[in-house]
Amino acid sequence: MAAGKRPFPSGFVWGTATAAYQIEGAWNEGGKSRSIWDAFTQTDGHVTDGNTGDVACDSYHLYEQDVALMKQLGVNSYRMSLSWPRIIPDPLTGQVNPEGVAYYNKVIDSLLANGITPCVTLYHWDPPLVLEEEVGGWASERIIPFFLHYAEACFTAFGDRVKMWITFNEPSIFIYFGYVLGYHAPGRKDLAEVGPYACVHNVVRAHAQVYRLYEKNFKSTQNGKVGLSLNSDWAEPRDPDNPESVKAADRYMQFRLGIYAHPIFVDGDYPPSLKRRLADRAKGGENRLPQFTEEEKAYMKGSSDFFGLNYYTTRYAVAGTKEDEASYAGDCNFEEHTDPQWTRGQSVWLYSVPWGLRKLLDYIRVNYGSPVVYVTENGFSDPPGTLEDTARQTYIKDHLTAVHQAVTEDHVDVRGYYCWTLLDNFEWAEGYNERFGLFHVDFTHPQRKRTAKESVRFFKEITSSNSV
């Protein structure tokens, strides 16, 4: 499948992305402590086929091979994450692990030597286990100072070379799946009724505090940028002429995206419609949505240099049936539907809907102050063993066409695109049964042999021509 002739702006960033737990392996090497995902996957019943990330792609040992694969793709940037327990194994003492720092120094230096700019995520879901067990994880505001200390250690160690930082990856996912559904680490379900609002409050405040820390202590000398990556599907009203369907789609967007984006990109506070809804549902009792102080609003507002967007799919929204239920599901009260004509990936939730990405990008432009946007994840899953991945090529081409339309016709300031993902890897609760990689990985091979799928050549055409 040949790339076309829709040129992107000069200087457009072409990248691919991974996460430490999903590729590194070496779970107990180099001074690293256990993360919540180590504990979660090493407990029976949590992951399909009992798989773990103990070895994964073994990128801890094979990172030079991975950099060579990036060269083959022709990307000019690589979005990677740091393993918090590899850098600060015991956050209660706060001591930085020299072996962990040395490993990431080697990765960063190898990238730069090959003309690839690192984009580094501080938190991609794998904090030290002790912070969940002893502090309470993101349900407790006590975790915030530990995250600040970790961020400061990373800025100090790597900020002379890393100029693009992402604080959190997809808080809506790790909070909802980890603290409401129990489907992801740490496997908690205790916030299903009261809602994950305390977690949200702690994460957005932690993000803003890290942003201000960098702004105060590092920006003048390192001159980098700090943002975060928010995941959202696009919610389209099932019936645009039905007011209840329109309201359901708006609730979807506010509970999934606005609750994080509005405080950071608009006015330092939660979306007005979300605040009104939760106040009304409190019925004079305790409002489960925490309140920001005026000081917090001040440091929250404008606390991001760019908007990182992870987009995969779209849903049709209709009003739910849980309006009277005193639960988080009742707060949201929407139902999600798909179209049987949409192409589905190996993941049960993933349908190819490129027009949803264009609509979402324009929604961000209109509602969040026309920020600089990077698509920090976008990709398609196929079954294990697939090398002739035509469905992935079609997905990428169609979604990049939507990005191009957003840039050239809707005037959205999109500066880059990171394809998820470089390698087949450990896909969280689904283990190794869903493959998002541009490169196939043989997880039965001792050296985790990498093989290019057909999409590698296709993506190289895009990166080399700066067009789709």
Backbone angles phi, psi at 42, to 5 degrees: -85, 5
Q: Is 426 helix (H, G, I), strand (E, B) or coil?
A: coil
Can you say whether residue 363 is alpha, beta or left, with left for phi > 0 and alpha for psi between -120 and 50 degrees? alpha
Question: By CB neighbour count within 10 A (0-12 exposed, 13-18 middle, 19+ buried), where does 49 fall?
Answer: exposed
β-strand pairing of 450-452 with 439-441: antiparallel
Question: 3-state SS of the chain: helix, strand, coil percent to 5?
Answer: 45, 15, 40
β-strand pairing of 373-377 with 314-319: unpaired
Q: Is 375 helix (H, G, I), strand (E, B) or coil?
A: strand
DSSP symbols for 2-56: ---S-BPPTT-EEEEE--HHHH---TTSTT---BHHHHHHTSTTSSGGG--SSST
Given 377, 427, 430, 461, the catalytic residue: 377
* Catalytic (active site) residue 427: no
Please list the residues that pair with 435 across neighbouring strands: 382
What's the token pair of residue 364? 């961000």
Instruction: Count CB-CB contacts under 10 A for residue 195.
Output: 22
Residues 6+ apart with CB under 8 A from 284: none
The residues annotated with a catalytic role in the active site are: 377
